[in-house]
């Protein structure tokens, strides 16, 4: 994976005021930044604003970014803060909801209608179980398993320690197992 080196160079260039380099960082990270903000704010509109502001703030803060450190956890911490601030000021407390995509038939290996129905039911059960989780546990499950963030990135996004991510996640998973 050639990414870390490239990212390092981009950050170094962006730090020296190269807006093209920063733009590339934005392009590469805006997707995960947006979804993380969405998990936290529960609103796509808030998430969109949060991501924009976060990138502007991140740009200002680049001088303080520790050279060689991974960019994503650092960025996600900023994004998540923006998302939380928006959510708080919005008074309404949107809760992020998991929606499933329409089942795509996967070409010629399409499952039988029965198998598809069964899989669909299992997913609905899982979804219903996720709905019973408290906010914190839902967010940790979403970050780790739905967004695929690392433990460190999840900790940055949720503003807690990696150890807390671990324990919160294991409680959440135990709860889901029990629900299922």
Partner 1 sequence: MSELETRLAELPVEWPREPDVTERVRTRLEAEPRRRRFRPAWAVALAILVLGGGVAAVPQARSAVLRWLGIEGVRIQRVPEAPTPTSSALELGERTTLARGTLVPRALGRPDEVYTDSVRVTLLYRPQRGLPESAQSGAGALLSQFPGRTDERFVGKLAGPDTTVERVRVEGEPGFWLGGAPHAVIYEDPSGAIRESPTRLAGPTLVWRRGDLTLRLEAEVTKSRALEIARSVQSVP
* Interface contacts to partner 1, rule CB under 8 A: 19, 22-23, 26-27, 30-31, 34-35, 38, 44, 47-48, 51-52, 55-61, 63-66, 69, 73-74, 77-78, 80-81, 84-85, 88, 98-104, 122-123, 126-127, 141, 145-146, 148, 152, 155-156, 159-162, 173, 176-177, 180
**Cβ at position 118, least distance to partner 1 in Å:** 13
Which residues, in sequence order, are CB contacts of 42 under 8 Å at separation 6+?
Answer: 87, 93, 94, 95, 96, 97
**Cβ at position 126, least distance to partner 1 in Å:** 6
Closer residue to partner 1 (CB): 3 or 17? 17
Closer residue to partner 1 (CB): 5 or 64? 64
**Cβ at position 5, least distance to partner 1 in Å:** 19
Is residue 154 classed exposed, middle or buried when 0-12, 13-18 and 19+ CB atoms within 10 A define those classes? Answer: buried
CA dihedral 36, 37, 41, 42 (to 10 degrees): -60
Closer residue to partner 1 (CB): 67 or 112? 67
52-73 in b/e form (b: 16+ CB < 10 A) is bbbbeebbeebeebeeeebbbb
């Amino acid at each position: 994976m050639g990414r870390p080196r490239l990212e390092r160079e981009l950050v170094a260039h962006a730090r020296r005021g190269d807006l093209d380099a920063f733009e590339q960082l934005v392009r590469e990270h805006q997707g995960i930044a947006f979804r993380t903000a969405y998990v936290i704010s529960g609103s796509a509109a808030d998430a969109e604003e949060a991501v924009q502001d976060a990138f502007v703030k991140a740009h200002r803060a680049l001088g303080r970014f520790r050279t060689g450190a991974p960019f994503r956890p650092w960025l996600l911490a900023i994004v998540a803060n923006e998302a939380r601030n928006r959510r708080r000021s919005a008074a309404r407390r949107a809760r992020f909801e998991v929606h499933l995509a329409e089942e795509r038939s996967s070409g010629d290996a399409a499952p039988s209608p029965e198998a598809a129905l069964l899989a669909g039911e299992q997913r609905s059960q899982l979804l219903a179980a996720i709905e019973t989780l408290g906010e914190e546990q839902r967010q940790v499950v979403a970050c780790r398993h739905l967004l695929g963030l690392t433990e460190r990135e999840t900790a940055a996004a949720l503003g807690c320690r990696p150890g807390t991510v671990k324990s919160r996640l294991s409680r959440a998973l135990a709860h889901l197992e029990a629900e299922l």
